[in-house]
Structure 1
Amino acid sequence: MRRFPLERRLKEHIIGQEGAINTVASAIRRKENGWYDEEHPLVFLFLGSSGIGKTELAKQVARYMHKDVKKGFIRMDMSEFQEKHEVAKFIGSPPGYVGHEEGGQLTKQLKQCPNAVVLFDEVDKAHPDVLTIMLQLFDEGRLTDGKGKTIECKDAIFIMTSNVASDDIAHHALQLRQEAQEQSRRRLAENLDDVQQSEKITISKQFKEEVIRPILKAHFRRDEFLGRINEIVYFLPFCHSELIQLVSKELSYWAKKAKQRHNITLLWERPVLELLARGYNIHYGARSIKHEVERRVVNQLAAAYEQELLPKGCTLRLTVDGETEEEKEGGAAPSLRLELVGEDSKSRKLDIRPPLNPEEVAFAH
């Protein structure tokens, strides 16, 4: 299990983000092989838009490090620690205060697993007093709870995520991709490899220093806090080929469900992937693809099923409709349609009645 290089393990679960995966895997490899400062825990800051794989990567690291991922992965939602008094929830109340016996959320879990992977989600939302506690944690590798007990956690891995500067990173990445594409167009791409390579981009040191660092400084207002971070990891918006992979993965997930639950086989053509990939929204990342598939594909499947249009064990094909000449001229957006594939491989379009709009229902009495 542990023999596989970590990179390969992570890439099985995460689409794109090669730069992020390599940075994290290299740091963990150093730690595992004893090439690190054992006085301090390993601290990462994951930057990038929502729904782009930050939390997922933290989860997969915990899976790799721990057999029992329930204990080995501690997730703290930092938007719950926006007020000064919520520090008590974090490390526990001092003696004599309400809730003293319960202990803090973090200290309780770290006691059980001092070498856990701890995810501080949306760390930019935490109150400055909570950051002070985190600084002690990163700096000394120990945490004192409300009862005055010290928990040693030098072997833990701390991962913070933040959307701070995510627009700047996304914008910069898109710019770099456009430049790379123009370059390959100029080369007239003698072979396809050239074109493919243009999608792999790296963020320059200059951009990190001149654009990102000032934003982080202005937000966290502490050099020593930023100084304790071993690696700042950048997550980039998906490129076209990654979007196609995401749509594919999502459709395969629903095809598997259709097969298991209803013995229905679902097929699709390449143009379907292209059409669904257009639903990508840079601010919502992979979640926007998930919603697009649910909205345009799963809704149709559910309606067809409800209207008893799907015979048991049937085969359905998803195709793109609306590409006829008249429709193109009329500017109609192409839509997805479901077809029933017969035994003779001929397919016929399913006539799915659209669900009633709430307005129509109101007048139907």
Structure 2
Amino acid sequence: MLSRISRYMPLLFAIMVFTMLYQFIENHWPQPQAIASLISSIHAIAWYLASAALFGWLFLLLGWLHFHERLPDFLKARPLMDILDRLTNKQVIEEGLEKQETAIFIDAESLAEALKQRVIGQNAVCEDISAQIRRRLALSQRGKPVGVFLLAGPPGTGKTLLAKVLAKELERPLLHLDMTQFAAGSHSLSQLLGMNKGYVGSDTYGKLTSGLQDNPNAVVLLDEIEKAHPDVLKAFLTAWNDGFITERSDSNQVSTTSAIFILTSNAGTKRLGEISTQYADDPDALREAAVNALREASFAPEVLNRLDRIFVFQPFKGLDIARVAALEIEEMIRGYGLDVADQGIDPNIILLLMRRYQKLGKLGSSRDLIRAIEEQLADSLITAKKAGLPKVELFLDADQRITARAMLPHGSRS
């Protein structure tokens, strides 16, 4: 701007000379009214331009003095301003900050201990996944989900439970999708990602896109991922690769960069059970063998290529079977709105369930343990609930049947 003012300085001074000449003529040779008005207007414009020229020259002079470090001290003081306004573009930074992923720091050891309290017999998995999540959450810019983890191994060994406990401990919402319900191609895509424009139902989002829109930091549990339709799997590849997934009803891109994806699979169960024992002390060899086993079991290779980590769950053994049995019994009883009294489970019940579980071999599941006793307990639990007695104890009768009886408030049996 200063260079432009300097360029027109000769013209501005010419106007000033003309104005002064006009004043001389006006004072000595009166002119007709019309001409006098015109000249008066020119006079006002000329003074405006002359004033602009004067200030322009003043700025040029101050600029020259500044760059040649000849400014007086009283002119060197800078007005107070945000340092970002002075050194960069503050507005751009503020806008970028809203979109930037922030680093989160967690205590991996505390998280692992909390997981191990609920997920029995999978200590190595709990420690490994806790360390992985700590590292990934500490990254401030990812462009991809926090993690895409596959939990593989025999059914009923705690894969789904781990995802649920992880969401609770991280204080994140859980988005649980049973992938057996998404095996029908285009219909499955509509359920997950919404209906295309113009079709019935296109005014609502899909289960996945709406879930992530409302809770971008969710733990997304994809149970039995191997049973999903190939088109559904392709949709997830975008979510894992590019950091977003597109809602089909309005083409809105929903971010996945703050989410944690947990996949579970029962594919290759027999082989995974074998290698989990064979490589129990070598995690790297275990993961490599697990990938090969899943490939042999026809697990989608495009999914395997995008996994951040594979965790192999081992079958229960020893006291882990007893711990799982006790926890499952407690959980089932709580489902009836009741609690187990302290040491209220007859140890002979646990031993009985352990024997039944061991007979099932490597394909045994903790769910099988509960199915074995739920029908026997249901009626007596309902009776205790109706009586308004909140605590029960379990015992094994002479016929090897498991029975529940309510505990009175003072500790005696009903």
Same fold (TM over 0.5): yes
Tell me the distance in 2 between the aligned counterparts of 1:336 and 1:99: 52
Tell me the distance in 2 between the aligned counterparts of 1:58 and 1:241: 23
In the other structure, the counterpart of 1:62 is 167
In the other structure, the counterpart of 2:181 is 80
Q: Work out whether residues 266 and 315 of structure 1, in 8 Å CA contact, stay in contact via their aligned partners in 2.
A: no
Q: Work out whether residues 250 and 290 of structure 1, in 8 Å CA contact, stay in contact via their aligned partners in 2.
A: yes
1:316–1:217 Cα change, 3 Å: closer
Query: Match of 1:233, as an amino acid?
Result: F
In the other structure, the counterpart of 1:32 is 137
Q: Work out whether residues 165 and 215 of structure 1, in 8 Å CA contact, stay in contact via their aligned partners in 2.
A: yes
In the other structure, the counterpart of 1:144 is 246
**Which structure has the larger Rg?**
2
Give the alignment's Cα RMSD to 1 decimal: 3.8
In the other structure, the counterpart of 2:356 is 279
2:125 to 12, 20, 23: 20
Tell me the distance in 2 between the aligned counterparts of 1:339 and 1:160: 37
Tell me the distance in 2 between the aligned counterparts of 1:258 and 1:337: 17
CA displacement at 1:32 relative to structure 2: 2.7
1:314–1:286 Cα change, 3 Å: closer
In the other structure, the counterpart of 2:155 is 50
TM-score normalised by the chain length of structure 1:
0.68
Q: How many residues align?
A: 295
Gaps in structure 1 of 5+ consecutive residues: 178-200, 323-334, 341-365
In the other structure, the counterpart of 1:222 is 301
Query: Match of 2:366, as an amino acid?
Result: A
1:295–1:24 Cα change, 3 Å: same
CA displacement at 1:21 relative to structure 2: 0.9
CA displacement at 1:295 relative to structure 2: 4.6
Alignment of 1:1-365 (within 5 A): 5-34=110-139, 38-41=142-145, 42-66=147-171, 72-86=173-187, 87-146=189-248, 147-173=250-276, 176=278, 201-202=280-281, 205-206=284-285, 208-210=287-289, 212-216=291-295, 219-223=298-302, 225-252=303-330, 267-280=344-357, 281=360, 282-295=362-375, 298=377, 301=380, 318-319=395-396, 321=398, 335-336=400-401
Tell me the distance in 1 between the aligned counterparts of 2:203 and 2:142: 32
Tell me the distance in 1 between the aligned counterparts of 2:256 and 2:390: 55
The structure with the largest helix share of the pair is 2
Q: Work out whether residues 17 and 236 of structure 1, in 8 Å CA contact, stay in contact via their aligned partners in 2.
A: yes
**Higher deviation after alignment, 74-83 or 272-281:** 272-281
Query: Match of 1:227, as an amino acid?
Result: N
CA displacement at 1:250 relative to structure 2: 4.0
Tell me the distance in 2 between the aligned counterparts of 1:228 and 1:50: 23
Q: Work out whether residues 259 and 265 of structure 1, in 8 Å CA contact, stay in contact via their aligned partners in 2.
A: no
Tell me the distance in 2 between the aligned counterparts of 1:244 and 1:211: 27
Q: Work out whether residues 381 and 404 of structure 2, in 8 Å CA contact, stay in contact via their aligned partners in 1.
A: no
Q: Secondary structure at the match of 1:46?
A: strand
Q: Work out whether residues 150 and 263 of structure 2, in 8 Å CA contact, stay in contact via their aligned partners in 1.
A: yes
Q: Kindly, what percent of the aligned residue pairs are identical?
A: 26
CA displacement at 1:5 relative to structure 2: 1.4
Q: Work out whether residues 247 and 273 of structure 1, in 8 Å CA contact, stay in contact via their aligned partners in 2.
A: yes
